[in-house]
Structure 1
């Protein structure tokens, strides 16, 4: 495939992709639909793991053929016992956390591995496909992007360090101007180092404020060394503000002053720019040291909201342990009077919080349909679930669970999905937390478990008021 992409008849985009094709493929996975396009062992369909052949037990011979059909039960669920015979114990929870393929799942889809919603994000791609070479070869990278100043100043400093700012000299080289000279002194070509330091008028004001420990080499170092030396300095200016923040703010104000001269025609006042730079540095420093404290009102407890008469209510919730990464789901079905009909709880292996919320909704819909429910209101405290399922392109969502849940909605019943605050969903949260993490079996409760009695009693008391 890379060789065909690199053909001269292809677009420049595809020719560029051919150079990083292997790196790109390692960051793309399959979202299982019917499973027909996916090789079970060699393709990536468990995003957190990669190809499953790397996790197969030693007893699995290279000639052994493993397919999705061979590791599914008669009702389409994962056959945990068979998976445990093929794969190592540490891989099993990740496999179980993926929804198995089904004949109704539609075609398999390509997804981005490294986001919870499996949609492509440029930041994620940059983090994965670019091994941060800049940090290794250019130490100024961290000094600029960790500086406690506004983002626009960081971007400006990065352009300056890369010598990408459009000074008059650069504009002339690109035939955007016919005057390469400094607009402030009119005595030398306007290079970047001249713009910030070597202009005679700027040198005059710099000498008043530069720390004595930096003065010896301040006007002699090349631009990258000069920027790095000043941006990593921890010297305090006037015993209060870090010099690196003062330095960055003054450069920014000098550049704005220069632009006013070139593009607006204002007279240059580098002294005023210097004063503004120091004032803004003080403002930036105070903002980071003493951020504004937001006063939050105490959270208001909202009890369970019962549905309209004749409609049953399914509360669902997912939980992921921050310590172990284990994900559990739980939910319960009640009528409008708050009477318990059934509950469920399940350990689903290792997955993220969004997929845990989707899993509990999917399992809850299955159980409600099997119990002959005709009018159902589902309550969740996860806003992201509502956004995904109410999206106009829900049928093409990269998450297979979302597509499967939407298929349930198309059946002959009424289903309404609403958001409720966490305090209204305590019963489902309790169900998720009683799952047995030593087994992947679904726990079904026809009577409320002991851990749920207090929550149900509270909800019933509120309804009676």
Structure 2
């Protein structure tokens, strides 16, 4: 089931397995002789060690309590405690927005001081603030925008947290990977997209780094800078973190980095991954196999031109990649450039 290029043979796999199984396989690196032996690990913990807390979180994840008690459902969410507290405050309408500050007589204006676009209430902060809305529109298919932004805030909040069908419905969401590669003047060299099925977001981000490095090496580039806004992925790639230590994918990244070339993996902010995000969205609904793009796609051409106006530092070629997880809307949105 592995091709001569050491990728999964999707034509054979698609002939014998359903789509949902293929999406699980997509996140797994194909077997190879130098990848070492398989070993057991606890999949619900980053370092693959078993903890009772992670088992408890898994057992209660997505559990339908069926009693309509919003408060109990909040405290049973499989998220960190600080996130539960944040949601609890949100349902109580007690986030310290400017509107709430005015109500408490500690501020004179309830308007948003950043975007100057309306009152800074919870709905504005979580849904309509410029940055928040930008995140939502990148995560949601355009067909969902009208209902997502048109619902009353209390109903939107409940559906956002407890009704998965509100987002998924007839649209299969998964993790999609995309990236773009530029020369030292910001000029387009190539791009890539990949659908990695259902897996952890961090794993998808590592797949993006892996695919970008593999493309760059096979195309003959020998002076490359990888820029990522996922600090965890950068630490793993640079062997400064034990998370996922020993996994076949991480080992493959380290093998690529050990080749005879100059590669720097650096952490950057999220402001420079617009083209990579667009390429990841472009990968939705495509085949399981990764796709290389040597011509700039029409939908990102304007973005490439605008970013081209700000050249790179001249060190070498620059690779930007991103992973989008469509299965859920995170509170601290990830993705990386």
- Would you call these one fold, judging by a TM-score over 0.5? yes
Q: Which residue of 2 aligns with 1:239?
A: none
Instruction: Return 449-458 or 83-92, whichever deviates more.
Output: 83-92
Does residue 290 of the first structure (1) align with residue 94 of the second (2)? yes
Contact 2:195 2:289 in 1 (8 A): yes
Q: Secondary structure at the match of 2:224?
A: strand
Q: Which residue of 2 aligns with 1:75?
A: 5
Q: Which residue of 1 aligns with 2:18?
A: 88
Q: In 2 relative to 1, CA 427–102 (structure 1 residues): closer, same or farther, beyond 3 Å?
A: same
Higher relative contact order (CA 8 A, sep 6+): 2
The 5-angstrom pairing of residues 27-426 of structure 1 reads: 71-115=1-45, 118-128=48-58, 290-293=94-97, 323=168, 324-392=172-240, 394=242, 397-426=245-274
- Structure 2, unmatched stretches of 5+, are 66-71, 82-88, 99-111, 116-128, 132-137, 142-166, 313-337
Give the distance between the partners of 2:60 and 2:194, measured in 1 at CA: 39
Contact 2:225 2:263 in 1 (8 A): yes
Give the distance between the partners of 1:350 and 1:129, measured in 2 at CA: 19
Give the distance between the partners of 1:397 and 1:412, measured in 2 at CA: 23
Give the distance between the partners of 2:261 and 2:285, measured in 1 at CA: 33
CA drift at 1:381: 1.9
What do the CA deviations read for 1:5-43 (whole angstroms, capped 9, x no partner)?
xxxxxxxxxxxxxxxxxxxxxxxxxxxxxxxxxxxxxxx
* Equivalent residues, number: 230
CA RMSD of aligned residues (A): 3.7
- Structure 1, unmatched stretches of 5+, are 1-70, 136-141, 152-284, 302-317
Q: Compute the TM-score of the two structures, normalised by the length of structure 1.
A: 0.43
Q: In 2 relative to 1, CA 90–396 (structure 1 residues): closer, same or farther, beyond 3 Å?
A: closer
Contact 1:119 1:398 in 2 (8 A): no
Contact 2:196 2:288 in 1 (8 A): yes
Contact 1:320 1:326 in 2 (8 A): no
Q: In 2 relative to 1, CA 420–119 (structure 1 residues): closer, same or farther, beyond 3 Å?
A: farther
Q: Secondary structure at the match of 1:111?
A: coil
Give the distance between the partners of 2:234 and 2:113, measured in 1 at CA: 26
CA drift at 1:402: 1.8
What do the CA deviations read for 1:120-154 (whole angstroms, capped 9, x no partner)?
444112345799xxx9xxxxxx7xx78xxxx9xxx
Contact 2:278 2:300 in 1 (8 A): yes
Q: In 2 relative to 1, CA 378–414 (structure 1 residues): closer, same or farther, beyond 3 Å?
A: same
